[in-house]
Amino acid sequence: MMTRLLLVVVAACGGGDSDLDADVVTNLPPGTATGDAMTGSYRMESLTTDCSGDCSTTVDDVVYSACDIGTRMTDYVDVTQTNGALVIDIDGNDYVSRLAGGIDTDGGYDIGGLRTQLGGSVTITARATGTFAGDSMTGEARLHVSGHGIDCHIETDVTGARR
């Protein structure tokens, strides 16, 4: 359980107020796109660029950092586009593993998701915005982790390419 808390804590920190509320990130509307052109498997990389809030906790007398600027992560994601609806599933992610929302005809997307851990005592919300263009994607993702003495925001830059 301590390892899982550490994983939660290490991923999250970056701005945002009510746009990271659970009700907001789980109810983002579809966009204006048509078709399924962005559907596929992508290699996605993120780079932590900012942390704010209470981003550390102590477990068994050991201090754990929830956010470290410069942290790089690579994930393999499945993107499903059904007209203006967009879902990104991040296989094996310990934070928010499903983001859903919309994509517009210009490739702009706005997706979000929610996950709880440790029996609901830790809540993680995430929201990502950016653009798909051909076989690539760019954007910014923000997460908010709260619980167990943590109230931390993470901001990351995200890039991806179709595999």
Q: Residues 40-68: pLDDT tens digits?
A: 999 999 999 999 999 988 878 988 887 89
CA-to-CA distance for 92 and 94, rounded, in angstroms? 6
Give residue 4's pLDDT: 34
Asked if pLDDT for residue 144 goes beyond 90, the answer is yes
Give residue 122's pLDDT: 87
Give residue 17's pLDDT: 55
Closest Cα to residue 158, out of 77, 68, 101, 38?
Answer: 77
CATH number, domain of 125, equals: 2.40.160
Asked if pLDDT for residue 157 goes beyond 60, the answer is yes
Count of domains forming the chain: 1
- For 147-156, how does the pLDDT look when each residue is reduced to its tens digit (9 = 90+)? 988 999 999 9
Asked if pLDDT for residue 77 goes beyond 70, the answer is yes
Asked if pLDDT for residue 10 goes beyond 50, the answer is no
CA-to-CA distance for 19 and 125, rounded, in angstroms? 10
**Percent of the chain residues topping a pLDDT of 70:** 89
Measured CA angle at 94 (ends 88, 100), to 5 deg: 20
pTM of the model: 0.86
pLDDT band at 160 (very low <50, low <70, confident <90, very high): very high
pLDDT band at 6 (very low <50, low <70, confident <90, very high): very low
Asked if pLDDT for residue 16 goes beyond 60, the answer is no
Give residue 158's pLDDT: 96
CA-to-CA distance for 144 and 19, rounded, in angstroms? 10
- Position with higher pLDDT, 30 vs 149: 30
Range of the domain at 113: 2-162
Q: Structure tokens of 69?
A: 């600027």
